[in-house]
């Protein structure tokens, strides 16, 4: 028996990466009977065979730390939100939505500001200031100067990461830069994606040469606030949540209520005004939907 990670699944065949090699496996019938479908990212036990067209059978799936639908994958360790200040111009609202999305999925995001060859030192300080008390790891990268790449590798080492972010920010360039063997693959994949929505996509996990693993498709479609509760929103703005214990009202939404410690913290400069305003925008969005 061997243990490995499913890195690819096509037509009922699962490719399981073990210490020594990748085995083409099928799942034992018991999983189908129980309606359990193995996912890429699953840590599995396999039993080797020489009796059929496959090399092994999946006999056990270890319990999942998490699982997602788009892409269909289990056991993601972290989301790397890639964004830029320019080309394309940064939307803090979009970035904060992606952060909320990550938090709601119980993943701590890493914020990667790419194309930092295009920005001034003051810009960095400003960006750092907005997110400084969120505790998120912020990495400034450039695929032109190579800045921040080692830091990004350190953050990705021994973890399964999923890149997300608007198109054009440099997600493919970054993955290629992280490991040049990746180049061909991402090229192929973006080509496939461009062919249209009907192309079946099978997400795959790649092991990068420095020891991190990455999913070859950008993750997570944008947050739909329909199902987000006020509590969910608040706990996704970690620093706002932190300041929310001293409000006069227990159920303070930190909106128009008097004696609100969150608003006081914004006034005092302890919470970024940009973050607070985005919180309010998303709060209003949730509120207006709840009316119907």
What number of chain residues touch ligand GDP (CB under 6 A)?
A: 14
Residue 173 binds ligand GDP, judged by CB under 6 A: yes
Residue 172 binds ligand GDP, judged by CB under 6 A: yes
Q: Which two tokens stand for residue 106?
A: 């119980």
Residue from 167, 199, 246, 288 in contact with ligand GDP (CB under 6 A): 167
Residue 246 binds ligand GDP, judged by CB under 6 A: no
When the beta carbons of 102 and 228 are compared against ligand GDP, the nearer one is 102
Residue 169 binds ligand GDP, judged by CB under 6 A: yes
Residue from 8, 171, 253, 275 in contact with ligand GDP (CB under 6 A): 171
**Per CB under 6 A, which region of 13-21, 152-160, 167-175, 220-228 contacts ligand GDP?**
167-175
Q: Which residues in 95-114 contact ligand GDP (CB under 6 A)?
A: 114
Residue 193 binds ligand GDP, judged by CB under 6 A: no
When the beta carbons of 115 and 275 are compared against Zn ion, the nearer one is 275
Residue from 12, 13, 117, 125 in contact with ligand GDP (CB under 6 A): 117
Determine the distance from the C-alpha atom of residue 59 to the mean position of all C-alpha atoms in its chain, rounded to a whole number: 29
Residues near ligand GDP (CB under 6 A) are 114-115, 117-118, 142-144, 167-173
> Where do contacts with Zn ion occur on this chain (CB under 5 A)?
247, 252, 254, 260, 262
């Amino acid at each position: 028996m061997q243990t490995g990670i499913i890195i690819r699944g096509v037509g009922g065949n699962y490719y399981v990466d073990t210490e020594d090699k990748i085995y083409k496996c099928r799942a034992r019938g018991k999983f189908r009977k129980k309606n359990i479908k193995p996912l890429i990212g699953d840590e599995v036990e396999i039993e080797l065979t020489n009796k059929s067209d496959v090399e092994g059978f999946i006999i056990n799936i270890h319990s999942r730390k998490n699982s997602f639908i788009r892409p269909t994958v289990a056991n993601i360790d972290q989301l790397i939100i890639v964004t830029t200040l320019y080309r394309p111009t940064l939307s803090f609202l979009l970035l904060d939505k992606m952060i909320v999305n990550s938090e709601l999925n119980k993943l701590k995001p890493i914020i990667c500001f790419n194309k930092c060859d295009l920005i001034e030192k003051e810009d960095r300080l400003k960006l750092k200031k907005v997110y400084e008390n969120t505790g998120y790891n912020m990495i400034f990268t450039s695929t032109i100067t190579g800045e921040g790449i080692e830091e990004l590798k350190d953050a990705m080492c021994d973890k399964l990461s999923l890149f997300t972010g608007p198109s054009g920010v440099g997600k493919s360039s970054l993955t290629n830069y992280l490991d040049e063997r990746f180049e061909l693959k991402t090229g192929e994949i973006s080509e496939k994606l461009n062919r249209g929505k009907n192309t079946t996509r099978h997400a795959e996990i790649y092991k990068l040469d420095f020891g991190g693993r990455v999913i070859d498709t950008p993750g997570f479609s944008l947050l739909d606030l329909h199902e987000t509760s006020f509590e969910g929103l608040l706990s996704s703005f970690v620093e706002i949540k932190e300041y929310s214990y001293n409000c006069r009202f227990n159920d303070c939404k930190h909106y128009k209520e008097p004696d609100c410690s969150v608003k006081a913290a914004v006034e005092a400069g302890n919470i970024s005004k940009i973050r607070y305003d985005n919180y309010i925008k998303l709060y209003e969005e949730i509120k207006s939907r709840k009316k119907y």
